[in-house]
Chain A
Amino acid sequence: SYELTQPPSVSVSPGQTASITCSGDKLGDKYVCWYQQKPGQSPVLVIYQDSKRPSGIPERFSGSNSGNTATLTISGTQAMDEADYYCQAWDSSTALFGTGTKVTVL
């Protein structure tokens, strides 16, 4: 079965850039979206169709997808960006989520 793999954790200093990867076989052939989930809250969409930002999502969030890896990049990371992040894609009419990455802003 198809799997999406993410690093369990990423640490970043305030103002620096955080990169979160999502790996899957030929993932670049699929659309990827990303969700942010803060403790005790529901997931929030931050990127869809690989690189598009919904209205209300800050410009510091960006995405890319090529080959076997999709990447969510947070530029100028702020303390409020500390959260769990999940990638998501579709395979054979099944929605798949990545394993999740905890972003810690030190």
Chain B
Amino acid sequence: EVQLVESGGGLVQPGRSLRLSCAASGFTFDDYAMHWVRQAPGKGLEWVSGISWNSGSIGYADSVKGRFTISRDNAKNSLYLQMNSLRADDTALYYCTKRQGGRYGDYADNWFDPWGQGTLVTVSS
């Protein structure tokens, strides 16, 4: 069974940093692109960032570009999101999700399945 378990969320002051992690199991992690998607309280889904199987292709939403950095450690079956210069509007539940529909290739296209349970990030003074 594929499992994605996020961690690292919490309460952080504006301007500070936070690093999220996603531990993956139940599949060959280094064959698949991975993504972060967030959901602000009571709001819809927003794609944050994606990374290809070998970290050769990476993309970011305009809202986080230059502040967030996605990375992965295939030896540890783990996905990360380094979040710097956090703002109040970064407050959200952050989901880790697997790009489905084929191994290798770019981070983009296809669909997300499954999703983790999410880790909550609250940016507030």
Chain A contact residues, CB within 8 Å of chain B: 1, 31, 33, 35, 37, 42-45, 48-49, 54, 86, 88, 90, 93-100
**A8→B69 CA distance, assembly (Å):** 33
Return the contact of A97 from the options B45, B101, B109, B114 (Cβ within 8 A): B45
Q: Quick check: A94 and B44 within 8 Å, CB to CB?
A: no
Q: Which of B12-20, B24-32, B71-79, B115-123 contacts A (4 or more CB under 8 A)?
A: B115-123
Contact in complex: A42, B117 (CB < 8 Å):
yes
Contact of A99 among B44, B106, B113 (CB under 8 A): B44
Inter-chain contact B111/A93, CB cutoff 8 Å? no
Bound complex: CA A16 to CA B117 (Å) = 31
Residues of chain B within 8 A (CB-CB) of A88 are: 45, 111-112
Q: How far is the CA of A68 from the CA of B45 in the complex (A)?
A: 21
Cα–Cα distance between A96 and B45 once the two chains are bound (Å):
9
> Which of B59, B100, B111, B117 is packed against the most chain A CB atoms within 10 Å?
B111
B residues neighboring A (CB under 8 Å): 35, 37, 44-47, 50, 59, 61-62, 95, 100-101, 106-118
A-B contact pairs, 17 of them (CB 8 A): A31-B109, A35-B112, A42-B114, A43-B95, A45-B113, A48-B100, A48-B111, A86-B44, A86-B45, A88-B45, A88-B111, A90-B108, A90-B109, A94-B47, A94-B59, A95-B37, A97-B45
Per the bound structure, the CA–CA distance linking A98 and B46 in Å amounts to 9
Smallest Cβ distance from B7 to chain A, in angstroms? Answer: 15
Evaluate contact between A48 and B44: CB separation under 8 angstroms.
no
A residues in contact with B115, CB < 8 Å: 42-44
Q: Which residues of A contact B112 (CB under 8 A)?
A: 33, 35, 43, 45, 88, 95
